[in-house]
């Protein structure tokens, strides 16, 4: 129910796949600069508004003016025992004081916090085989009549939600709606004349800019932490459609759902997730952009639910090997590896091997940019897709579908090896074509050399090479002979398709 803790291997894989950071960089602990150093850095460019002291942003002014609009949220409910197993291993409400190191649990107990104050307690109490769930998080008031934004995982499964204001008043809250795909929830309390926060724009943030978080880490209400924007548009391996803001602001269990402020005192994000090996802050935290949160909030308030648009493709990252294979000028875009039959992308004419470079004129640099943009659209909306196909640029128009299925799924791409292709291939037999639902393709009998190092296995079906559908071995030899550095093999394995780059020179 608090900040979601990501497994290190999942986050490392996602960031490496995104081509923006290596594993060692993710695991490194980042520290806020010393006050003296920070003052020297920002003294020449102190942001306007809210005032500044000795060149630093005036965090005390932001806190005094807008801190009263930040609330503490506590929840209680029950959860079926089956959900307290492995599938919730990463969810902080899946175990007593989940995500909190043992030494911190002892510290909290000494200060009177009960077991499970920052997560459920599977196996303890409950009714009808359920487990008692207690949790805490944060939120912020966006309208004076008691409308509050928080994280969906803070209120998920809650039977009772209590909101506590900074003036110590408490209210029972109603959950108006929640959206698991974006991790945004809207709750309402019965009150008038409440303090609110001003809302800004995350797209105006610059990497390196100071930001401020207010929340209730470990139940310590209205705690203030500050740091800088580390990156924008981060895609995480949770099948969400959120282009996260990455910061080095200290965020811990209990900060979930709290606001991320810029130096003008405007909320630019909702603190949502952390990367941690200990359950506590390690210098990598993630916030949901406020524009996306408001898009979800407006739908919940108007309709009580959220509808997400759907394109109906599986895409993967374009690395240098793929760029070489498809003759792309730069390793950018979203490589289409699979198209849902009869879906919006299929009807628009998208094919495996296409590289989507823009959507409605907005560049697609990393593959995660595409689901983020689709997530901001509405079902039935028509979008323009700029793509790279067979060495040249093309444009298509697609009408986005409704919520069934996933708007865009991002596939994981394996690393390429070096050396010759190293494959023994044979054509698909007629019965195999029917089973695989393919018109053509070549079965991998043996895999060695560069192909094996890239992850190709016997039994895989090669559907295309460099975007060209293949039906015989000679065709593959001809394509590989013309390749300069690498080839992109579209592999079908157990009904799923993914491009694999293989170095050939």
Residue 420: the pLDDT is 65
Residue 125: the pLDDT is 38
Residue 84 has pLDDT above 60, yes or no: no
Least confident of 6-20, 123-137, 294-308: 6-20
Q: What is the pLDDT of residues 291-336, one digit of tens each?
A: 999 999 999 999 888 888 889 898 888 989 899 989 999 999 999 9
d(Cα 126, Cα 131) in Å, to the nearest integer?
4
Least confident of 69-73, 199-203, 457-461, 470-474: 470-474
Least confident of 54-63, 172-181, 202-211, 248-257: 54-63
Partners of residue 130 on adjacent β-strands: 80
Beta strands in 216-353 (DSSP E): 223-234, 244-247, 259-261, 267-275, 285-289, 313-317, 334-339
Instruction: Set out the domains of the chain in order of their start, with CATH numbers.
Output: 1-306 (2.40.10.120), 313-411 (2.30.42.10), 423-503 (2.30.42.10)
- Interacting residues of 299 by C-beta distance below 8 A, sequence separation 6+: 305, 306, 307
Q: Is 435 exposed, middle or buried (0-12, 13-18, 19+ CB in 10 A)?
A: exposed
In SS3 terms, 143-202 reads as ECCCEEEEEHHHHCCCCEEEEECCCCCEEEEEEEEEECCCCEEEEEECCCCCCCCCECCH
Q: What is the mean pLDDT of the chain?
A: 77
Average pLDDT over residues 381-390: 93
Task: Place 28 in a pLDDT band, splitting at 50, 70 and 90.
Answer: very low
Residue 126 has pLDDT above 90, yes or no: no
d(Cα 150, Cα 138) in Å, to the nearest integer?
7
Task: Place 482 in a pLDDT band, splitting at 50, 70 and 90.
Answer: confident
Q: Are 317 and 17 in contact (CB under 8 A)?
A: yes
Average pLDDT over residues 447-468: 88
Residue 265 has pLDDT above 70, yes or no: yes
Average pLDDT over residues 118-142: 62
Task: Place 87 in a pLDDT band, splitting at 50, 70 and 90.
Answer: very low
Candidate ranges 74-88, 231-245, 349-363, 459-473; pick with highest mean pLDDT: 349-363
Task: Write b or e for each residue in 28-39: b if 16 or more Cβ atoms lie within 10 A of its Cβ, otherwise e.
Answer: eebeeeeeeebe
Tell me the pairing of strands 423-427 and 408-411: unpaired
Q: Which residues are catalytic?
A: 153, 183, 256
């Amino acid at each position: 129910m608090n900040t979601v803790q990501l497994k290190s291997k999942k986050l490392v894989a996602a960031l490496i796949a995104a081509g923006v950071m290596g594993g060692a960089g993710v695991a490194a602990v980042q520290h806020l600069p010393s006050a003296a150093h920070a003052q020297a850095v920002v003294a020449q460019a102190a942001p306007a508004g809210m005032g500044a002291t000795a060149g630093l942003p005036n965090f005390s002014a932001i806190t005094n003016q807008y801190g009263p609009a930040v609330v503490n949220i506590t929840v209680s409910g029950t959860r079926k025992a089956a959900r307290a197993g492995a599938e919730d291993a990463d969810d902080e409400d899946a175990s007593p004081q989940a995500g909190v190191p043992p030494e911190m649990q002892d510290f909290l107990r000494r200060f009177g916090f009960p077991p499970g104050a920052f997560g459920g307690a599977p196996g303890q109490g409950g009714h009808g085989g359920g487990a008692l769930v207690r949790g805490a998080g944060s939120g912020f008031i966006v309208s004076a009549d008691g409308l509050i934004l928080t994280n969906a995982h803070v209120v998920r499964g809650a039977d009772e939600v209590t909101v506590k204001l900074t003036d110590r008043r408490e209210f029972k809250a109603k959950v108006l709606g929640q959206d698991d795909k974006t991790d945004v929830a809207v709750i309402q309390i019965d009150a008038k004349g409440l303090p609110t926060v001003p809302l800004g724009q995350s797209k105006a943030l610059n990497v390196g800019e100071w930001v401020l978080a207010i929340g209730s880490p470990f139940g310590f209400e209205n705690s203030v932490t500050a740091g800088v924007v580390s990156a924008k548009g981060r895609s995480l391996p949770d099948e969400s459609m959120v282009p996260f803001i990455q910061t080095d602001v200290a965020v811990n269990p209990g900060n979930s759902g709290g606001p991320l402020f810029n130096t003008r005192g405007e909320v630019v994000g909702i603190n949502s997730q952390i990367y941690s090996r200990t359950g506590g802050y390690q210098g990598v935290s993630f916030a949901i952009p406020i524009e996306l949160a408001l898009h979800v909030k407006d739908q919940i308030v108007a309709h009580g639910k959220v509808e997400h648009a759907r394109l109906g493709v599986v895409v993967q990252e374009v690395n240098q090997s793929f760029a070489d294979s498809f003759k792309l000028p730069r390793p950018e875009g979203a490589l289409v590896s699979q198209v849902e039959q009869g879906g919006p992308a299929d009807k628009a004419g998208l094919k495996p091997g296409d590289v989507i470079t823009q959507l409605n004129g907005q560049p697609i640099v990393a593959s995660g940019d595409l689901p983020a943009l689709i997530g901001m659209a509405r079902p039935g909306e028509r979008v323009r897709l700029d793509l790279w196909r067979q060495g040249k640029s093309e444009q298509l128009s697609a009408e986005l579908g409704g919520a069934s299925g996933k708007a865009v799924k991002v596939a994981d791409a394996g690393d390429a090896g070096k050396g010759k292709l190293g494959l023994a291939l044979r054509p698909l037999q007629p019965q195999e074509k029917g089973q695989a639902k393919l018109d053509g393709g070549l079965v991998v009998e043996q895999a060695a050399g560069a192909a094996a190092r890239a992850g190709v296995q016997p039994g895989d079906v090669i559907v295309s090479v460099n975007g060209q559908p293949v039906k015989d071995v000679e065709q593959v030899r001809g394509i590989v002979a013309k390749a300069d550095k690498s080839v992109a093999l579209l592999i079908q394995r157990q009904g799923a398709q993914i491009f694999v780059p293989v170095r050939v020179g």
